[in-house]
Structure formats: C-alpha cells, structure tokens
Structure 1
Amino acid sequence: MTTLFDPIQAGDIALANRIVMAPLTRNRAPGAVPTPLMATYYTQRASAGLLITEATAISHQGQGYADVPGLYAPEQVAGWKAVTASVHAAGGKIVTQLWHVGRVSHTELQPGGGAPVAPSAITAKTKTVLLKDGGAVFVDTSEPRALRLDELPGIVDDYRRAALAAIEAGFDGVEVHAANGYLLDQFLKTGANQRTDAYGGSIENRARLLVEVMQAVTAAIGGGRVGIRLSPVTPANDIVDADPQPLFDSVVRQLAPLGLAYVHVIEGATGGPRELPDRPFDYAALKAAYRAAGGTGAWMVNNGYDLPLAQQALAGGAELVAFGKAYIANPDLVERLKAGGPFNVPDKMTFYGGGEKGYTDYPTLG
C-alpha cells in the first residue's frame, strides 16, 4: 500500500515523499523582501516532499497583509534566491504561492493609499493584519473598487511575470492561489462577483480570469511546474458561492489540458471543519471530473490531516497530503510522522510577525 513516505512525480517535480508543507503566512518579510531568517525557516523543513512558501504577492496591489513577501522587485528575487539555494542544498523541493488578495486588503497596504481591487465593489467582512508598535493588529478590510475590464489583462500579466521571476529565483515551480476568498476566488464565486460583463454571471464567465491566468503561467514556465490551490466551500474571508459543485467541476475540467504538476484542494472550511452541513461538496466527484477531462496532475488534499487520516486519504486515491499548522511547530514533521510523534504544539502568539521566537526555535527529535 502507498504510504506518505513513498516518492512521487508531480509534473516535472520529483518528490522524495508525499508530505507537503502547506503555505503559511508568517509576516516576517519587512518591505516585502525575504530575509535570511526565512531561509533558515524553510531549510529546517526541507525534509518535506514539497515546501509551498507562504503566499507571495505578485504586485504591490496584490498585497493584503503587512510584511508578506513579494515577487515583483529585484531585491525580492534576490532574497528568494538565498531561500531556494539553501533549501536545495538541504535536498528539498520548493515552490512559491502566487497571490493577489483582491479585496482582502487595507488602504495602508495599497499603492498610494488607494482602495483595494475586487471583481465588484463589495467589502469583505473579514480582517487583515497590520503591524504596529512591533505587534500584529487585526483591522477591518477597506472598501474595494471594482476592477475595470481594461485592467484585467495587466493582472494576468502580473501573474505571468511573477511566475518567471519565481523561476529566476530558483523555485522548482509555482502554486497559483485561487482559494480562501482572495482575488481569483472572488471572481469565481457569486458572493463576491456581481459583474455583468464577460467576467461575471455564468460559470464560464466567472472562471474566465482564473483560466486566463493559468494559461499565461503555464505558457510561461511549463504546466509541469505549476500547481493550483482551490477551496470550493470554505467561508474564509467572507466568500460564498450559490452552487459550488458545478462551478468547480467546470474549473478543473478547464484546467485539465494544461498539464499541471498538481491540484491542491482545501476540504471544508480552511483551518476549520472538514464537513460543512450548509455547504455540501463531493470532492471525489471533483477529482473524477478532473481525471475524466484528462487531468494528470497529482491530487493534493488539505485540512486538518494527521497520520491516520492522511493514510486513509492515500488509500482513497489522494497522492499528496498538505500539513499546515503542524509544520509551524515541527520542522522535522516527516521524521515525527514516521516515529508516530511526539509533536510540538505551536505558540499561537507568534504566528504573525516577530523574529526567531515561534519561527525557527522549535526543537527537533534527537
């Protein structure tokens, strides 16, 4: 039987095992530039089959939280080069998650103090993070403005350029963040997208921006180095869709021809319940729709997995399992899973912002 510790090929990326470090926002990149401390953090976790970095802004406009890294300036590429070189020297594989937050932002984080952008001018009833007096402060998101039709090609190009910058920075690939109520997810879902043009209304129209982004990114760096993250029913960041099953079945059918490295699916509520009675969803049907359309990417599952649940998922046909919070406190999670524990407990007070404490100072086995 397949185990978490067996190797696998995800597109063009050969992975030593099926354990993935999920993307985790940690707010430790002042000025949006990756630091040597970040290189230490990721290198400590390089025994994972695949590291997915914290979400990384494709543009200044795409930033929604204080001190998150970017991939749109030379100094950011240089900072990431040090991270990827260190991870590769330790034998790891690493991709970066390309991010545009859309409406989940604040005027203090936007170019010129402008309004965040969104498919429609609907404020997200959620919080974002500013850093004040050395600490994380949660504030309401600012009212967004609706993107003009003539702005959308520029956003597609920002994703393309960020993907090329990621390869220049030494990453093994990229993951396009289309989940958790951020820009691409906002376009997909009816609760945030009330447009009446070619990017709103029908499923085909609401999926148009995502498909254009994925086509541009795969054309730029090759589908075998590209993954995507989807969250069909999560309520994260005040997002909802009236009928998610046909929407996401259509999305994965449209992605199937692109030859992706993997499809990363958050099951249920991000960081919360795996089953949502008011938002039922058939994940097996989603995978079946992708495979039936010729999709070959590895199928990655995510949300609240432990060792028994992960093994059950692999037995059920999943190919990669992403672990999030467990990786905050357990840099050697692969070894701890092999040993059946023990597992360090993360310090929630150090999740967002700060330095080494709660970041690079967790002990390893032995």
Structure 2
Amino acid sequence: MNAPAALFRPTRLGDLALPNRMVMAPMSRARADADGTPGPLMANYYAQRASAGLIVAEGTHPVAAGAIGPGAPGLFTDAHQDGWARVADGVHAAGGHLFLQLMHAGRLAHPDFLPEGTPPAAPSAVAADTLVHTSAGRMPAVTPTALTDTAIQELIDAFVHSACRAVAAGLDGVEIHAANGYLLHQFLAENTNLRTDRWGGDTEGRIRLTTAITKAVADTIGPHRVGVRISPSNPFGDLTETDPHTTYTALLRTLAPLRIAYLHHGETGTPLDTAVRELWPTALMITPLPAHRDKPQAAAHSLEHGADLVSFGRDFLANPDLVTRCRIGAPLNPARPTGFYGGGAHGYTDYPALGRPA
C-alpha cells in the first residue's frame, strides 16, 4: 500500500499535535464485558494501534437503552469510566491520542439485550426493515417507542454526562455519532422522523437534536474536545434521505459557529461530498468511499480536495502497525471476518506486526 506522503505530515487537531493524518475509524468489536465495561483485552487492542495520528474508539452508548448489541461498551457508570481510563492510559503510554465515539442505536437496538426487554427508542414508532444484532443472532428489528420531549431532554443530558466521564477518564475528546443509521441519523432522515413537534416536521426540526447535543457537549467539555460524524445519504438501517443537500447544508451551517475540533464525513458518492469542505471551518476528517476503491488513491484524493485527516477502518483492524506499513509500502494483513464481532483475542489482538509471527 503506497500511501501519499501527505498522510505522514504532522497536523493539529484542537489542542492536540498529531504525528500523522491517519485516523483509526470507530469500529464496533463487541468485546466489552456483559455490563458494557471495557476490559484489559480492549485496552491492549487500542494500545497496539497507538501509532495512528488519532484513534476514534468504537461507538459507546451514554444510556443503557442506546446499546447497539451484546458486547457494546457503555460510558455511564463508574465501572465504565474506570475501564475507559485503562484504555486511555494504554494508548497515551504508547504515544497515541484517543477520542471516543458516543452513539445511541435508536431503533436498531433490540429488546433481547435492553433493560427489562423494553422496546428501543427512536424519533417515531417506525420499525426498520432490517436485521439487528442480538445474543441469539441476527433478528428482525422491532417497532420502537417514540421519544417524548422529556426523554429527549434527558438524552441530551446523558450525552453531556458521558462526555464528562470521557474527559475524567483521560480521553482526549468525543465524537458525536450522527451517521450510519443510528439515533441521531434517524432524527435527520425523513422516513424515520415523522414528528410534528420541534424535533421534526421540517429541516430545522430534524437537525435540532444533533445540534443541541453537540452544543451542550462542546459548552461543557470545550469545543476542542468534540467532533461530529455524518454520512449523508447512507441507507444503512433502512434510512431514506430525500434531500440530503438541504438537510446537511443546514446542519453544517448551524454547527460551524461552534468551532468544534472536527467534522468526520463519510463519503457516499453524492454531489454533497464536494461541498462539505466549503461549509466546514475547522478540521475535516474523511472516510473515503467503500473498500473496492484503491485506498492510496482514495486517501490522496481526499487530501487533495481539502481533507485534513483520513480515516481507515478494517486496515487498522488487521494491521496494528498500519502507519509503518503504509509509510514503507509493506503488504497488509488481510482482515478475518470471523473475528469481527465478539469473542476473545482471536481476530482482535492477535494480528501480527511487521517482523512478528502470526
């Protein structure tokens, strides 16, 4: 993998001096304890990959009802905070930087693993036509309960409290997940947000929750510790966005004055991709289009078109020393799907670095 030289140039992100522009993307790995606490195996996994300019740790729920599935980590108890502190300590000891992605699964959660078997919560009571992860395997999504105004206010507070715990645990910041079909994306999309109150009804209403959470978190822990992830037109989770240009132009114009650390934009091949750089005033992190594209070419294209950082998913999953391999043009370990979700060290912490046997 002959990556462009620009990937290895230092840059700044908020108060952080990053040694390179390669970001380890957040990837669900389902290795937390049953109560959502990160254990030593997770700490080892992230420390192995600390040569990334920045690690964005996997989606982590701020409330029990926000879990995406069994083994997903949380950050709303003292035990969770202590677990993430061990992860942060390991990454920092290895010279790395670590943000944590805060996400709520919304209607993609399932009563199988939610407290007392309650239905998932969402903008509106509309079931996703998809399968979701459960302890018994993939099952059809169920009809969620529409969040009340009071519950939405409590959810904003929960994101703030989790962000405070992240900082207390020693993490460098948090990424608000408003992409990939999860709760905040469900509020943005027309087919999942059928509300007629201030949290829906029109573009201003549909973007309100993402902007409210981002502002509340930035006001509390500092904008330099906050990022937001978006993926316009991403249909994952049975989402449909009929006018993403209008929605995301409004969203970015509302978020821009907050001067948060970065925007994490997942490209989806729409004309909006080329407009994001013009709309966004601080660091722009790009996840290039899907894996079938030539990755060095995709990274070079992103940097040439205004990206400050480029995120890599499965390549970091399978190559703890991805930065070194890319710098010298060494071959990459292939990712093994059998270890993607759940289990132990196999397919997780046992990928070899250069010069080490498999």
Short-chain TM bin:
over 0.9
CA 1:4–1:111 in structure 2 vs 1: closer, same or farther (change >3 Å)?
same
DSSP 3-state at the match of 1:120:
coil
What is the distance in 2 between the residues matched to 1:61 and 1:296? Answer: 32
Of the three residues 73, 80, 97, the one matched with 1:93 is 97
Of the three residues 268, 273, 279, the one matched with 1:283 is 273
Q: 1:2 Cα shift? A: 6.5
What is the distance in 2 between the residues matched to 1:73 and 1:149? Answer: 24
Deviations 1:153-183 (A, max 9, x none): 1010010001001001110000000001111
Deviations 1:57-95 (A, max 9, x none): 111011121110000010010011111001000000001
- For residues 1-366 of structure 1, the aligned pairs below 5 Å read 3-30=6-33, 31-132=35-136, 137-268=137-268, 275=269, 280-290=270-280, 295-304=281-290, 306-366=295-355
Is contact 2:288–2:298 with CA below 8 Å preserved after alignment?
no
What is the distance in 1 between the residues matched to 2:180 and 2:285? Answer: 18
Q: 1:303 Cα shift? A: 3.8
What is the distance in 2 between the residues matched to 1:262 and 1:339? Answer: 28
CA 1:303–1:53 in structure 2 vs 1: closer, same or farther (change >3 Å)?
farther
What is the distance in 2 between the residues matched to 1:81 and 1:286? Answer: 34
Deviations 1:215-240 (A, max 9, x none): 10001100011001000011111111
Percent of aligned pairs with the same residue?
A: 43
TM-score, reference length from structure 1: 0.92
What is the distance in 2 between the residues matched to 1:54 and 1:299? Answer: 16
TM-score, reference length from structure 2: 0.94
What is the distance in 1 between the residues matched to 2:88 and 2:279? Answer: 34
Is contact 2:267–2:286 with CA below 8 Å preserved after alignment?
no
Is contact 1:189–1:240 with CA below 8 Å preserved after alignment?
yes
DSSP 3-state at the match of 1:48:
coil
What is the distance in 2 between the residues matched to 1:89 and 1:289? Answer: 36
Q: 1:289 Cα shift? A: 2.1
| CA RMSD, 1 decimal | 1.3
What is the distance in 2 between the residues matched to 1:300 and 1:161? Answer: 28
Q: 1:42 Cα shift? A: 0.3
Q: 1:141 Cα shift? A: 1.8
Letter in 2 for 1:247: T
